[in-house]
Amino acid sequence: MEALFCQDINFVEGLVRGYRSALLTSITYQNLTQCETLEDLKLQLSATEYGNFLANVPSPLTSSTIAAKANERLVSDFKFIRQNAVEPLSTFLDYVTYPYMIDNVILLITGTLHDRDLNDLLERCHPLGLFETMPALCVATSVSELYDSVLVETPLAPYFKDCLDADDLDELNIEIIRNTLYRSWLEDFNKFVEKIGGPTRELMSDILGFEADRRAITVTVNSFDTELSKEDRQKLYPKLGQLYPEGSFALGQADDIEGVKGAVAGIEAYAAMFDQLTSATAGDNSLDDHFFEHEAKLNKRAFLQQFHCAVVYAWLRLREQEVRNITWIAECIAQNQRDRIGKFAAVL
Amino acid sequence: MPYTTLFRSEEVAAIQLYFPAEVARSTVSALGEIGCVQFRDLNADTSAFQRAFVKDVRRVEEIERQLRFFGKQIEQAQIPFKGIDYDSLSAQAPSIAEIDELADRARHYEARLNSLNESHETLQKRFVELIELRYVLRETDTFFHQAHAQSGEIRQSVDSDDGSNLLDSNADVEHSAAASRFPDSGSLAVMNIGFVAGVVPRARMAAMERILWRILRGNLYMNQVAIDEAINDPITNEPVDKNIFIIFAHGREILSKVRKISESLGATLYAVDEDSRQRQTQLAEVNSRIGDIMSVLHNTRQTAHSELSYLAQNLQAWMVSVRKERAIFQTMNLFSYDEHQHCLIAEGWCPRLDLDKVHRTLRDAAIHSNSSQSSIMNEIGTLKDPPTFNRTNKFTQAFQSIMDAYGIATYREVNPGLVAIVTFPFLFAIMFGDLGHGFFLFLAALYLVLNEKQLKRAKYGEIFDMAFYGRYIMLLMGIYSMYTGLIYNDIFSKSMNLFGSRWTFPEGSDAETLSGVQIGTYPIGLDPAWEEADNGLLFTNSLKMKLSVVIGVIHMTFSLCLSLVNYRFFRSRLDIVANFIPGMLFLCSIFVYLIVCILYKWSVDWSMTDAQPPSLLNMLIYMFLSPGTVDEPLYAGQAQIQIVLLLIALVCVPWMLLMKPLVLRREANKARAAGYEGIAVAEQHGRISTSANDHEEEGVGAIIAEEIHGEEDFDFGETMIHQIIHTIEFCLNCVSHTASYLRLWALSLAHNQLSKVLWDMTLSNAFGMSGAVGVIVLFMAFAMWLILTISVLVVMEGTSAMLHSLRLHWVEAASKHFQATGHAFTPFTFSAVIDDL
């Protein structure tokens, strides 16, 4: 079975493993953090797999161009993989792009709500989540209109059904919509990887489970002191992950950070994070940083097995983290915040 | 008298150079021109951006980026580049002032081109908008006209159908919209029906229709028509297919929604008047404005074109200067800087024969820049392995690269590239032997060789480049093939009867088979009588098979002898006694004995003796299986001699296996027993520190302190394992490699048979016919034969024979002596950085 699977995926897998070995190492990061200017950064990056991706950019460089160019490379690599993928990997990769779609949709709705310029918004959308009729989202003024006019023909439609009862588009509702969409996506994606089975299921259910837990915790932490009721909050928790069901229920009852800590106490990895967060040396790393580090660990684990789709997802996430790190370093250099330059979650 | 030889790589000296800061740049540039110094990186632990000249590198890279930008613009404008002037390549690298000027110019032109492009873009955008508007005006006109034609019927429906349910169904909307179009029943505004007209990319059309239909719940009337010509996008400058659409809908709210949606999907909307007369005037106005803009656009383009043509004239020369400049600074980044004495210190390698040239260059550079201080070069001692440098010319280069592709020879090791000049084409020719095919190959190579000056610069693609690079190999291959073809007496699979066959056949006999009688020996090569003989194939097979074994064993023995030359040169007596001698004895007692037997068997006239000619293959096999018994003796005393040979071979195996590791262990133990452990390491330390002391007065002792490879502890297990592998490999390879040389026979046979088949299938059929048909058929058959001969027999078979010859060199011969653990000498030279221009 796996041998048959192998013939479909091995080209892509080889490609991805190649990309993975091109990820920046800690030595490169060390060199990057020593850069004085963005020009230095460019020079350092030109010695890596990024090559002369900035060669045709006129000076002066800005950190946003560096980020944009790095992201461009990531997107073109991903698109190449997508074009070379066959079932089930191609559907798998489609699933991978849905969160970007969700983000784009939310970005457009929020932007329209605040009367931002449509073209600016479109530029800020993630290229992996673009779909043809997306710009028309700006016309919609209510949730049902959003669904009826544009989203009904997108792959997000089934996820959107749960949000139809929200009445008008305000900040809170948009956040609820976003999290509901994510929840449905996670559950759906999880179902899909269960169907693929094999190592893909093993690895992906770990990764997706963590993603679900992270979302649940983040939602809870962010919901303190807002109008979000506990019942509504409970609905946003994905029905997977290590926290589900007991942990999620406990999370649903939490009123403050101590409550969250109690809820996740059963899971060693998360408990450790919260311990570090509240310990004496707190302030070093935020909760997000801990999550990123844990995620990178899970993703790296995907490369220890063969003949499965999870490598692509893992590589994409690692690469995204890398782009985030480069952007962070570039920002720190540009704004002369050298003392904070080391605060990124190293990928390798 | 120093002389260069390919037999060993040249002696390379470790040198240290002091450049006074003010002449450093020009001196490095001069060194780049002569290209015979390889610089070592003295700042390996400094990261790329902390080096001394990184600012200059960056500045030059910026100019290069601007030049690339010009190149792209010139390409887009389809202006031909001025071909690169090859004399300018050898010109001096630019001075600092020239580079400064170039930087200014590049900046100036970049700004100018950018502003031109910008204005061109805005103009183009307006132009496109006007063109689109013109289309919209024209096409909407037809929409309105269609409506006029159906006016009567529509008016009726409007009259009968007023009231609140007017807009209840799709049909009603369409009707009412259409009705409102003709002026006498009231304008659109009265009916509260508006329309939106515009242009949208054709690819987006379907999505727009879908969205509009869903949002307006079908309450719209839409008409569209494709624009025939593709409209250039002003930003990307690529043609885009577009559609004109006009949408009629009811109500201001809805109309604004329609507008918003169509704009969000990339449509451009245009205000069109519903009145046809106003449309006419609008159209006329648009037409005149298009005329204006076109002339302005034309002017802008003209200016840009002239600027770009000027740039196109100079771009390549500038690029050369910039590349050279960058290479200079990148090289200077490898140097270390002495602040006290204000000079740059470089270390590197230089072939000993070129030291004078470097000296001269340093002096000339100092004189040239009117500096009182000249750069200084010292030779230094080092423990590092010097790089391998073989001075090649256009003839030897390709042969050398064949062996370099396998591995770079260890410093001062015997260079197999020299031997390959003879053996490579010869082994090829044994497989390819055919006078005619060899002649074709020779002619093709001769053409390349004679026209090499012109062809060198021509770019005909990778395959041609490869053939051109190996033109001298091909030339020799062709000549050698002609020779072997003569020996095989084979020209396009036919034999030549140059001197008259030395076989006679009885005349007028009716027998089915004729037996020939030999009356002499044919002067050179194979007797032509064999070609038509029934047992001709048997004869040539036996001959070629034995020949290939003979040549194979000679080739291997020769290669093994080269290892002796290496051992003697490196003064390794242990290797001679423990590796070379047993190996040679092993090879001689079995395989050289075999070829001696082959030659002896050929020299005996078996028809004159009573004995049967023995099978040599069986002889060799039974020499091992049942030593001491010989069924079909070749010569007297054969059994005894074979036993002795077998014993020698058997003794050689443990000799080779055990002697070297045991001797090494004894020496290590002796040293350890005498308490000298680690003495070698200390000695090496001493050596490096004396050389450091010599220079300490000059204050640079630290620089030449190098990593010291201390002698590792002797590990008997490791040595033993290496020797076991070596022994097993050697003994087995003697057998398998001898068999491997049989490919010489196999390919030669295949080549011969294939060309025979080709001849029989094409040309020989055509010879039978006569008259007009015969002429035509002969013509066609000849064309086919020639094409197939060249493409299949010469090109394809030739490639395959070449690959086999390559393998025989890499595997069979190289394994006998070639260590290939060196690293190549890569001098700093400008020709490398401007190669791809």
Report the residue of chain B nearest A37, measured CA to CA: B49
Residue B676: its pLDDT value, please?
64
Distance from CA of B209 to the nearest CA of A (A): 11
Residue B176: its pLDDT value, please?
41
Q: Which residues of A touch B214 (CB under 8 A)?
A: 148-150, 152
CA distance B420 to B427: 10
Nearest to B215 among A47, A59, A149 (CB): A149
Distance from CA of A136 to the nearest CA of B (A): 5
Which DSSP state fits B491?
Answer: B
pTM equals 0.72
Nearest to A149 among B49, B62, B214 (CB): B214
Asked whether B837 and B319 are in contact (CB, 8 A), the reply is yes
Nearest to B261 among A39, A44, A136 (CB): A136
CA distance A300 to B323: 42
For residue B526, which amino acid is it?
L
Q: Which one of B43, B49, B53 makes the best mutation probe of the A interface by having the most chain A beta carbons within 10 Å? A: B49
Q: Which one of A52, A133, A146 makes the best mutation probe of the B interface by having the most chain B beta carbons within 10 Å? A: A133
pLDDT at B690 over 60: no
pLDDT at B157 over 50: no
In this structure, what token pair is assigned to residue B782? 């000849």
CA distance A282 to A97: 35
Q: What is the CA radius of gyration of chain B?
A: 43
Q: Report yes or no: A153 at the B interface, CB cutoff 8 Å.
A: yes
Alpha-carbon dihedral sign for residues B63, B68, B71, B72? negative
Q: Report yes or no: A35 at the B interface, CB cutoff 8 Å.
A: yes
CB contact under 8 A, A133 and B210: yes
Strands (E), B21-118: 38-39
Alpha-carbon dihedral sign for residues B616, B621, B623, B629? negative
Nearest to A44 among B49, B58, B265 (CB): B49
Residue A348: its pLDDT value, please?
66
Helices (H) and strands (E) in chain B, counts: 33, 13
Cβ partners under 8 Å of residue B533, min gap 6? B516, B539
**CB atoms < 10 A from the CB of B252, how many?**
10
Residue B38: its pLDDT value, please?
92
Which segments of chain A have a pLDDT < 70? 1-6, 166-168, 279-285, 348
Q: Report yes or no: A145 at the B interface, CB cutoff 8 Å.
A: yes
Residue B487 burial (C-beta neighbours within 10 Å; 0-12, 13-18, 19+): middle
Per-residue pLDDT averaged across B645-662, rounded?
A: 93
Q: Which residues of A touch B69 (CB under 8 A)?
A: 56
- The larger pLDDT score, comparing residue A97 to residue B707, is at A97
**3-class SS of residue A131:** coil
Residue A283: its pLDDT value, please?
53
Report the residue of chain B nearest A61, measured CA to CA: B62
**Dihedral, B463, B469, B472, B478 alpha carbons, nearest 10:** -10
CA distance B188 to B184: 11
Q: Which residues of A touch B215 (CB under 8 A)?
A: 136, 139, 145, 148-149
CB contact under 8 A, A139 and B264: yes
Residue B621 burial (C-beta neighbours within 10 Å; 0-12, 13-18, 19+): exposed
Asked whether B802 and B751 are in contact (CB, 8 A), the reply is no
CA distance B259 to B265: 10
**DSSP H or E segment with residue B376:** strand B376-379
Q: Report yes or no: A103 at the B interface, CB cutoff 8 Å.
A: no
In this structure, what token pair is assigned to residue B659? 């002697």
**3-class SS of residue A56:** coil
CA distance B369 to A13: 59
Nearest to A34 among B47, B58, B69 (CB): B47
Strands (E), B670-817: none
Q: Is B342 left (phi over 0), alpha (psi -120 to 50) or beta?
A: left
Asked whether B757 and B745 are in contact (CB, 8 A), the reply is no
Residues B464-509 pLDDT 10s:
888 899 999 999 999 999 999 999 999 998 898 888 888 888 877 7
**CB atoms < 10 A from the CB of B223, how many?**
17
Strand ranges across the sheet with B221-226: B221-226, B242-250, B193-201, B268-270
In this structure, what token pair is assigned to residue A128? 């992996």
Residues B592-618 pLDDT 10s:
999 999 999 999 888 888 778 888 888
Residue B695: its pLDDT value, please?
41
- The larger pLDDT score, comparing residue B742 to residue B343, is at B742
Which DSSP state fits A136?
Answer: G
Which DSSP state fits A243?
Answer: S
Q: What is the DSSP string of B48-60?
A: GGGSTTHHHHHHH
CA distance B24 to B386: 25
Q: Please, how many CA atoms are within 13 Å of residue B221, restricted to the half-sphere of its CB?
A: 22
Looking at every residue in chain B, the average pLDDT score rounds to: 82
Cβ partners under 8 Å of residue A293, min gap 6? A345
**CB atoms < 10 A from the CB of B554, how many?**
14
Q: Which residues of B touch A157 (CB under 8 A)?
A: none
Asked whether A164 and A139 are in contact (CB, 8 A), the reply is no
In this structure, what token pair is assigned to residue B77? 């404008």
Q: Report long-range pairs for A76-82 (Cβ below 8 Å, ≥24 apart).
A: A77/A19, A77/A319, A78/A128, A78/A316, A80/A15, A81/A12, A81/A15, A81/A16, A81/A312
Task: Supply φ then ψ for residue B503, to 5 degrees.
Answer: -115, 135
Question: Within the 401-440 window of chain B, which residues sit less than 8 Å (CB to CB) from chain A?
Answer: none
Q: Which residues of A touch B261 (CB under 8 A)?
A: 136, 139
Residue B697: its pLDDT value, please?
39
Residue B567: its pLDDT value, please?
93
Q: Which range among A331-340, B532-541, B696-705 shows the weakest confidence by mean pLDDT?
A: B696-705
**DSSP H or E segment with residue A339:** none
Residue B434: its pLDDT value, please?
92
Report the residue of chain A nearest B207, measured CA to CA: A133
**3-class SS of residue B369:** coil
Cβ partners under 8 Å of residue A269, min gap 6? A294
For residue B835, which amino acid is it?
D
Nearest to A139 among B54, B204, B261 (CB): B261
- The larger pLDDT score, comparing residue B549 to residue B197, is at B549
pLDDT at B423 over 50: yes
CA distance A89 to A7: 12
Which residues share a beta bridge with B16?
Answer: B347, B378
Per-residue pLDDT averaged across B633-637, rounded?
A: 86
CA distance B745 to B431: 7
Residue B691: its pLDDT value, please?
41
Residues B13-62 pLDDT 10s:
999 988 888 888 888 888 888 888 999 888 887 777 778 888 888 888 88
Q: Report yes or no: B259 at the A interface, CB cutoff 8 Å.
A: no
Which residue, among B259, B258, B248, has the nearest Cα to B176 in the 3D structure?
Answer: B248
pLDDT at B3 over 70: no
Q: Work out the pLDDT band at B703, boundaries 50, 70, 90.
A: very low
- C-alpha B351: how far from its chain's center? 28
ipTM given for this complex = 0.75
Q: Please, how many CA atoms are within 13 Å of residue A105, restricted to the half-sphere of its CB?
A: 30
CB contact under 8 A, B62 and A59: yes
- C-alpha angle B100-B102-B108 in degrees, rounded to nearest 5: 105
Alpha-carbon dihedral sign for residues B551, B554, B560, B565? negative
CA distance B92 to B89: 8
For residue B169, which amino acid is it?
S
Q: Report yes or no: B265 at the A interface, CB cutoff 8 Å.
A: yes
Question: Within the 109-138 window of chain B, which residues sit less than 8 Å (CB to CB) from chain A?
Answer: 110
Residues B239-289 pLDDT 10s:
888 888 888 777 777 788 888 888 887 788 887 777 777 888 888 888 888
Alpha-carbon dihedral sign for residues B666, B672, B673, B674? positive
Question: Within the 57-96 window of chain B, which residues sit less than 8 Å (CB to CB) from chain A?
Answer: 58, 61-62, 65, 68-69
Q: Report yes or no: B201 at the A interface, CB cutoff 8 Å.
A: no
B683 to each of A167, B625, B668, B687, how far by Cα in Å?
88, 54, 16, 6
In this structure, what token pair is assigned to residue B585? 């004895």
Q: Which one of A43, A45, A145, A333 makes the best mutation probe of the B interface by having the most chain B beta carbons within 10 Å? A: A43
**CB atoms < 10 A from the CB of A249, how many?**
13
CA distance A129 to B645: 79
CA distance A201 to A206: 8
For tokens 């995907």, the residue is A302
pLDDT at B740 over 70: yes
pLDDT at B714 over 80: no
Residue B173: its pLDDT value, please?
40
Task: Supply φ then ψ for residue B834, to 5 degrees.
Answer: -110, 20
For tokens 């040249």, the residue is B10
Distance from CA of A17 to the nearest CA of B (A): 28
Which residues share a beta bridge with A271?
Answer: none
Residue B192: its pLDDT value, please?
61
Distance from CA of A33 to the nearest CA of B (A): 12
| % of chain B surpassing 90 pLDDT | 32
B812 to each of A170, B594, B739, how far by Cα in Å?
80, 18, 10
Q: Work out the pLDDT band at B757, boundaries 50, 70, 90.
A: very high
Per-residue pLDDT averaged across B190-213, rounded?
A: 78
**DSSP H or E segment with residue B107:** helix B96-149
Cβ partners under 8 Å of residue B741, min gap 6? B548, B549, B551, B552, B553, B555, B808, B812
**3-class SS of residue A193:** helix
Asked whether B403 and B417 are in contact (CB, 8 A), the reply is yes
Alpha-carbon dihedral sign for residues A336, A337, A338, A341? negative
In this structure, what token pair is assigned to residue B588? 């001689």
